[in-house]
Amino acid sequence: MFAVFLDRDGVINVDTEYLCDIDKLVFESRVIEALSHISKELPAETCKVIVVTNQSGVARGLFTLEQCERFAQQFLEAVATASNDEARIDDYLFCPHHPTEGAAPYRIECECRKPKPGLLTRAQSAHHLDLTASFMIGDQDRDIRAGQAVGCYTILIQPDVTTMTEISTSADAISTNLFDAVTLIIQEVHRRT
């Protein structure tokens, strides 16, 4: 069993900073098509699709843990509705902490805030995953580093290839959007089998 790990903001939805209001959710281009494609091509019996996201808005007092959990459920429902139940996300894990901002109990140096790989290892335990056979898709250096820490194949989402950053040199691959990244993953999985 392997996973496709997805960062949330900037990969699945437009990054509006500290998103916790479902009415402000806007999906990135071709995301629903990408999630439907991966659901069709890589069945849940062999591949889990898992969101792993830093949500320091909890630590910063911008929203509560309960609001963040409620948003996660609404987010999953929004994906299902937008795709007519053709897309799936098998799990949604978030880190509510920040090492220097906010207040206790969430102002801590934790193991789950990316670039640390705690969210990925938590998913590994819950779903019996082979992390070295898994994929991490993100739009930030911290996403790529979290995936690399556990041996995932990493894909950087960088919509504007004319402004590529140093991050791109450390990722295994670069895509301009989630659909292209998913297509690459499906090809890689077929190559491996």
Catalytic (active site) residue 90: no
| Cα torsion through 101, 159, 164, 7, rounded to 10 | 40
Out of 9, 91, 139, 143, which one is annotated catalytic?
9
- Please say whether the beta carbons of 108 and 58 come within 8 A: no
In which element (H, E) is residue 80 found? helix 65-82
Catalytic (active site) residue 7: yes
Q: Give the strands of the sheet with 153-157, arranged side by side.
A: 91-95, 47-54, 2-6, 135-138, 153-157, 173-175
Out of 7, 91, 139, 143, which one is annotated catalytic?
7
- Please say whether the beta carbons of 117 and 149 come within 8 A: yes
Q: Which conformational region is residue 102 in: left (phi greater than 0), alpha (psi within -120 to 50 degrees), or beta?
A: left
Catalogue the active-site residues.
7, 9
